[in-house]
Structure 1
């Protein structure tokens, strides 16, 4: 009998591999085609909250029983409990996954769930404004990560696919699972990984009634260096769980608020242009790659995040459970920036003397002066006043039903999720003028002497510093408002059925289910502009606005930035009001047609079915568990927007300023595709404490939603019709075959683990935006070429700037993890240690010229080395936790100068510390330090001498208390 079962299992594994490769070869697209060209590790899809994890149904019942039995033996409390629960979750998982758990709803010590996730192997974060926000996983950016809350896909506030995890307070998240391998019951979308966040089920609370109150004040000393900023803040949360009606009704309510200063000081070196003469008036002068300019900026303001959670669970019988829950998070970031900017070093705008030339013939410093032979002077030293205030909100809620009777298990979930983001994005500049108050004011002749300093703050001095702090010499040249408004909505339904097989020699159960999801994304761009930068191209009736001492304040730098030029802080609203000017951003189809072209709607309709079987059998006298299955996903996608045509050939459209445009037509373009996604997970149990995992799956991530907008502008050159936009609704999804092999050893009594694993991902395609094709056949993508009035015939095909599916690549990596508790006797038994390391590499390369000479840059989001280490002590009375997170350099487009720029992020190591003392069993005192060493974010271009951004955020100190009743 054992021999027959072994043969069956080997045949099953062989069939799984055959199906995986066979389906990959058979998969195709339907429709039109695009243009060529704080805790540790864990487990199962078990549900803590009654509303489901990412998995659409329960998992292997035998694994669930073993997990429940193991968790019931955990007797320690506090952070040690969280560690040991995480170890057990991973041990009994059917897939390769890691987990962070909380001892209770307020148990995670982190500012957001993003901080906790970075302590897992292969998981890292991009720090935006000093906070962990976008998660990278296994060398892939957030656009390749699927994220759910209580089993429901989460909408995004980023304007793209990636989730901004600082939107989720850690106090309201009970557990987060990172799925490294896939299974058929998982909602597709995570080529990098899938992150499933879960909230608590009040019926599983060990107490009939519990109340958790947490309050702590915060202090960031660097805020004192920023004009108008405040150093103090706070973080507070209240969570209640109760069980009623004989433990058949559970109610959970949670509120968490974070209020803190927005703190950032930055020295910015902008991208390099082409090779040019340093003296445009002398053709024999030296040549170099010259940057656009430099920026010096203080960013301040306040951040307020408030999260709300409510859960009602009704379990009238042992067979039926109904859950209704709602999560809402609102994040208001009142973010301003004041500073000094030197711009337009390149072209014929300036003469450069005393140059400092770096490797690759790039200009790293020198004296930049006004070119007296330039008629429209554009080189200038400017005072800047920016406003990037953003208001975001995320709602996720639904109704979940579970029914169990004998071998039958049914789960259904109906949900609605919505996100909105509104960034005001104000860009203001003031310049030094002669002839203010006359009919023809002129930009002053100016100069700046600067030097980049690699990964440290550079230097800059101006020839006449008093000019830039004297309101009588300065005037407001331009005030521009460019809002970004996004709406992201999901309406979904999923249901799954599981039937347990009691006597089958291989399978413990069979599962099947469906998933329906309608996804809508809206982008709305508006604009309002007064004047022109540097007044180089004066706008009639919009002259520079002279300043007054009542509307300005002199600001000088402190600390690491001391010695940089002082500047004027502008009260822009008062300046505009003084001249009777009132900004009113609207859709502008006349002077700023891009506001209509970049607006539009994207629709995705997903229709999935899956079939999966859980495995529990014997192979060569050892237990073999896991699952095998197939998911079939059908997607219809389309986008509506406007396309620019010749004047008079469009449909009349009225913009927000009352202008009637006749050079645009509405367009609606789309396609559909079906993907077959097989998967198999096998766990071979050598002993009770040792096991090997093997996984193979085909996985899918949809294109970034903002890259699928249909809007396009056009222009005519030499009888050719040219189209620009940089996006396309005909993008195909990213699919990959991925393979995982892990070895895992677990120490006795859940006291630790050691794991080692390797993975390979073969990704078929990557999306590239803003790619230009010449002599393009527009009819092939549904674009109508207008007629040439001179000939009566369509214009010739010209260039097409769009997005397309470029050739894919391979990613491979190694992940190691070690965790140990209770390895010392006596009072030191509460000491624990954990460490993770991940090595990831890919041959992928993209050419960039932002650093001067052409260079090949790696896959965005990929750090070759990612590591974390954690030392903690917990004896029930006192606990301390010191954590360090390291990632090596990586590429990202997160640097914002005048536009987003692709740069290298330098290696960084961030340390956090938390301590707690239990005054009584109900009251504890807390102390935290985040970013213990004030680690800055450093970016650069071609090499580390070519400064991108040097940005300091300060360290944040927290002190407070926690009450548990």
Structure 2
């Protein structure tokens, strides 16, 4: 067995190599590292043998390590790696991971952030850093990979099949990121500096858009005291503009009988409206990494490491928000697709609120991720070893959503201005192309004698997510040669605390000019006239408003800050200044809370090293037990009944609510997760893998919160509510099977891999919307009527109630993958550095989930599922020069787009192409040129059918020019 595995190692390195020779010392070091990987997977003793000595560098180096890691892993895995810190060219790890088979990304602001694996969304992807669970700034479980600079990550692996020693949580897969291990560095001292300038070619279209940015990183790895002490540190900074021009269609939420059909014919659904905007801003990310590794004796290795990433964003949106208000508008010349209105002429009525809002939003987002860990590896005997690990991970996010609304007045220069109610909006959607639009008020949109600021609102989201974990693993090597070569066992305990805090400040109205809160008259120094250009040039111009100047004029004593409050007009609130029927801000209290999750896990695993019909077989099998306690703070409305636990609850401004009972609610459950991985070495170059496992993904951490809230529409009196979060939600479970064939080329360099996978989904979380839900009958304290701002009253009536449950009706996800990598060394010498790497994945599922499209429920596929995903890279290297073009394609998929509120839509397929060229001037110094999103690929989405336009968003190309220095 030992001889066989060394021959595999020789072939793997030879098959991956792309040019001439290196020193024997370096080759032996590479061999030793490979032996360590093989030992971790197959637990077989080794003897040193001669191997072919070759050199690998540049892009080829990453491919070589990926092939070797895949070949000698004991699970189905994909990986990327870098020779040195800072060697990966990607802006973030999200971009880097999309080069792997079956991996696709969801672009946010034009850049990859969330990754999908085998057609499953980011919520089903579990991630670790140096083997430790990571929390996220997203308020969910999936980490935002753009938070992790590629310059500080030395390798990344995507486990598509698990083993019981891995932390549970990834139904789609587990992503393991690793920072540097300084004692594994090739040189005694390694120092790398990277600097790049950046330019975005769409920034000049954006008012006050920033065109240029930069990237800078430096890192050091050093070995001391006869290579028993290792030190590593790194710093990476990214400053870049964030720009886009976009049209966003809003959700269909207004049922209106437009065609006058029979009573049993469903009413047509009218969209809330649409937005046309320029978006811009600046993103600054500072990342830090440090590691200290010490080997005081041959039997003990100690390592401490730290990672910190701060990602701050300042963003703005300027343009229009059109509110159609279909229930009260006069609609002429309707264009109907199915039962959705995709165009028409909308006129405001006497009691209606059809309008065009000029939007000037300023948002800030301060995200921070910290991760600290200490690890001790101790070999008690030649057979018995232990590994102890303690870790801390914390993520904080402070997102401040500041909105400034403006409306058109009849005359903004008079003492008591009145709203211009002569509003006509004409539009026609054109599917995945920009719509046709027209406004009778268009000339007023750039006229400060007409436009007035009517409302300011700020709506912060403050999240904190923290986990402390302790883990002990043991491994025992069996002396006798048999079916099982070693046994592993371990236990892990973690405590996770998540908190979400909401607050609010609002002044004025987005639909009228309030006498008690008069609108603000604009002056020339506050505004700039902005026109759309290019494909968006048929949209009218508008006034971009300097928010700081406007707010300072509107609030000369200082802009009030948001608070968490019961607000005005809420029953049971003790405060003499409460105004009956006033704006309801109790949601800021009800949507705030904490989640607590404690997990105890233990596993037992046997490693296999045997032969079956003269075929070497390696792998593992075992079971993981997981016990989960999950609880959340809760406020239950008991109508002020003290005997039921009602208490006086004071908010941040001193208002006291007497209606609610505070408590902690939750549940405990236990799971057993059996898993198996088998690897059959058919020949020296052919390998067959089989894996089977039961897997789980817990609900997003924010959905375990216990909160129920409702709102009453002051125009219609309709009550809408939500309890889409619950501490009683259970995980997403699946039983999965993988089989793959791997062919490693011997005559040339590369490999071919084909795989089939099948996931039997047992349950998943689904959100249901119940139309015409009687909130009063269900015990909600709903008044019979509310008083509008103008003094009139409107009766309350049932509306939509959205709630989340575990859907026990599952189904399958299945698919196939192929990957092919080859360097064409059989070509003439000038072209021997030419190579290709590509992959194709097909995924399908019978699972249909339901989402609400207004009062209509439609079926959608699983979020993140693209049937077809492809990646391709064509590269060429010659005497220090390297160039490559990479493309990634995914077809239609379902995800969320963010508009006024997050809404589920279908995203159109997209092809993103990147290009890079570099030249290594000498052993230490190199230069590069890079273009991301070479074809300026937009993001496009739609509601159910392409005719029902969702988002059309263009981000621009990003150009990089830079240099790197290594010694």
TM-score by length of 1: 0.87
Pick from 590, 597, 607 the counterpart of residue 600 of structure 2.
Answer: 607
Unpaired runs of 5+ residues, structure 2, are: 1-14, 17-28, 568-583, 713-718, 784-798
Pick from 888, 894, 897 the counterpart of residue 891 of structure 1.
Answer: 894
**Cα distance in structure 2, aligned partners of 1:266 and 1:785:** 40
Bigger CA drift: 657-666 or 388-397?
Answer: 657-666
Report how far residue 735 of structure 1 moved: 1.5
Given that residues 527 and 543 in structure 2 are in contact (C-alpha distance below 8 angstroms), is that contact kept between their aligned partners in structure 1?
Answer: yes
Partner of 1:868: 871
The alignment partner of 1:83 has SS state of: helix
Q: Is residue 684 of structure 2 the alignment partner of residue 688 of structure 1?
A: yes
**Cα distance in structure 2, aligned partners of 1:71 and 1:571:** 67
Q: Is residue 508 of structure 2 the alignment partner of residue 531 of structure 1?
A: yes
**Cα distance in structure 2, aligned partners of 1:461 and 1:713:** 37
Bigger CA drift: 401-410 or 512-521?
Answer: 401-410
Partner of 2:725: 727
Q: Is residue 954 of structure 2 the alignment partner of residue 955 of structure 1?
A: no
Q: 1:519 to 1:772 in 2, by over 3 A?
A: farther
Pick from 385, 399, 421 the counterpart of residue 397 of structure 2.
Answer: 421
Partner of 1:858: 861
**Cα distance in structure 2, aligned partners of 1:722 and 1:219:** 46
Given that residues 271 and 291 in structure 1 are in contact (C-alpha distance below 8 angstroms), is that contact kept between their aligned partners in structure 2?
Answer: yes
**Cα distance in structure 1, aligned partners of 2:293 and 2:346:** 68
| TM-superposition CA deviations, 1:47-89 (whole Å, max 9, x none) | 99x9xxxx9x9432339x69x9899855222211211111011
Q: Is residue 803 of structure 2 the alignment partner of residue 802 of structure 1?
A: yes
Pick from 43, 46, 49 the counterpart of residue 61 of structure 1.
Answer: 43
The alignment partner of 1:163 has SS state of: coil
**Cα distance in structure 1, aligned partners of 2:452 and 2:482:** 83
Bigger CA drift: 817-826 or 318-327?
Answer: 817-826
| TM-superposition CA deviations, 1:667-700 (whole Å, max 9, x none) | 2101101100111111111101111111111111
**Cα distance in structure 1, aligned partners of 2:242 and 2:224:** 43
| TM-superposition CA deviations, 1:162-208 (whole Å, max 9, x none) | 21100001111111000000111010000010000011111111111
Q: Is residue 924 of structure 2 the alignment partner of residue 942 of structure 1?
A: no
**Cα distance in structure 2, aligned partners of 1:773 and 1:605:** 36
Pick from 328, 348, 358 the counterpart of residue 370 of structure 1.
Answer: 348
Partner of 1:111: 91
Q: 1:563 to 1:491 in 2, by over 3 A?
A: same
The alignment partner of 2:44 has SS state of: helix
The alignment partner of 1:181 has SS state of: coil
Pick from 370, 380, 383 the counterpart of residue 407 of structure 1.
Answer: 383
**Cα distance in structure 2, aligned partners of 1:799 and 1:912:** 45
Report how far residue 853 of structure 1 moved: 6.0
**Cα distance in structure 2, aligned partners of 1:246 and 1:934:** 52
Report how far residue 835 of structure 1 moved: 1.0
**Cα distance in structure 2, aligned partners of 1:643 and 1:71:** 69
Q: CA RMSD in A?
A: 3.0
Q: Is residue 77 of structure 2 the alignment partner of residue 135 of structure 1?
A: no
The alignment partner of 1:95 has SS state of: coil
| TM-superposition CA deviations, 1:726-747 (whole Å, max 9, x none) | 2110111111111111111111
Q: 1:800 to 1:906 in 2, by over 3 A?
A: closer
**Cα distance in structure 2, aligned partners of 1:382 and 1:425:** 17
Given that residues 105 and 113 in structure 2 are in contact (C-alpha distance below 8 angstroms), is that contact kept between their aligned partners in structure 1?
Answer: yes
Report how far residue 806 of structure 1 moved: 1.0
**Cα distance in structure 1, aligned partners of 2:93 and 2:151:** 9
The alignment partner of 2:507 has SS state of: strand
Q: 1:448 to 1:245 in 2, by over 3 A?
A: same
Partner of 2:746: 748
Pick from 468, 476, 481 the counterpart of residue 491 of structure 1.
Answer: 468
Report how far residue 214 of structure 1 moved: 0.4
Report how far residue 464 of structure 1 moved: 3.3
The number of residues matched between the two structures is: 886
**Cα distance in structure 1, aligned partners of 2:314 and 2:51:** 44
| TM-superposition CA deviations, 1:386-410 (whole Å, max 9, x none) | 1232110000111111112411221
Q: Is residue 650 of structure 2 the alignment partner of residue 654 of structure 1?
A: yes
Given that residues 495 and 515 in structure 1 are in contact (C-alpha distance below 8 angstroms), is that contact kept between their aligned partners in structure 2?
Answer: yes
Q: Is residue 557 of structure 2 the alignment partner of residue 564 of structure 1?
A: no
Q: 1:856 to 1:725 in 2, by over 3 A?
A: closer
Given that residues 877 and 917 in structure 1 are in contact (C-alpha distance below 8 angstroms), is that contact kept between their aligned partners in structure 2?
Answer: yes
The alignment partner of 1:867 has SS state of: strand
1:118-517 matches, cutoff 5 A: 118-278=98-258, 288-348=268-328, 350-357=329-336, 359-371=337-349, 374-375=350-351, 377-404=352-379, 405-434=381-410, 436=412, 437-439=414-416, 441-517=418-494
**Cα distance in structure 2, aligned partners of 1:921 and 1:725:** 61
Partner of 2:667: 671
**Cα distance in structure 2, aligned partners of 1:583 and 1:828:** 67
The alignment partner of 1:424 has SS state of: strand
| TM-superposition CA deviations, 1:931-960 (whole Å, max 9, x none) | 000000000112112110000000000001
Given that residues 849 and 861 in structure 2 are in contact (C-alpha distance below 8 angstroms), is that contact kept between their aligned partners in structure 1?
Answer: yes
Q: 1:776 to 1:703 in 2, by over 3 A?
A: farther
Partner of 2:625: 632
Q: 1:816 to 1:702 in 2, by over 3 A?
A: same
**Cα distance in structure 2, aligned partners of 1:776 and 1:689:** 67
Report how far residue 453 of structure 1 moved: 2.0
Q: Is residue 584 of structure 2 the alignment partner of residue 582 of structure 1?
A: no
**Cα distance in structure 1, aligned partners of 2:541 and 2:782:** 56
Unpaired runs of 5+ residues, structure 1, are: 1-39, 42-46, 789-797
**Cα distance in structure 2, aligned partners of 1:501 and 1:637:** 39
**Cα distance in structure 2, aligned partners of 1:673 and 1:286:** 43
Given that residues 925 and 964 in structure 2 are in contact (C-alpha distance below 8 angstroms), is that contact kept between their aligned partners in structure 1?
Answer: yes
Partner of 2:716: none
The alignment partner of 1:62 has SS state of: coil
Q: 1:742 to 1:805 in 2, by over 3 A?
A: same
Q: Is residue 834 of structure 2 the alignment partner of residue 831 of structure 1?
A: yes
Partner of 2:62: 82
The alignment partner of 2:202 has SS state of: helix
1:779-790 matches, cutoff 5 A: none
Report how far residue 647 of structure 1 moved: 4.8
Q: 1:941 to 1:73 in 2, by over 3 A?
A: farther
TM-score by length of 2: 0.87
**Cα distance in structure 1, aligned partners of 2:140 and 2:532:** 36
| TM-superposition CA deviations, 1:404-428 (whole Å, max 9, x none) | 2411221111100000111101122
**Cα distance in structure 1, aligned partners of 2:802 and 2:99:** 41
The alignment partner of 1:535 has SS state of: coil
**Cα distance in structure 2, aligned partners of 1:309 and 1:459:** 51
Bigger CA drift: 818-827 or 730-739?
Answer: 818-827
Q: 1:573 to 1:644 in 2, by over 3 A?
A: farther
Q: Is residue 528 of structure 2 the alignment partner of residue 553 of structure 1?
A: yes
Report how far residue 547 of structure 1 moved: 1.9
| TM-superposition CA deviations, 1:748-783 (whole Å, max 9, x none) | 2882111111111112111123555999999xxxx9
| TM-superposition CA deviations, 1:233-291 (whole Å, max 9, x none) | 011100111111111111101000110101111011122235524599xx9x9974322
Report how far residue 517 of structure 1 moved: 0.6
Pick from 598, 616, 621 the counterpart of residue 609 of structure 2.
Answer: 616
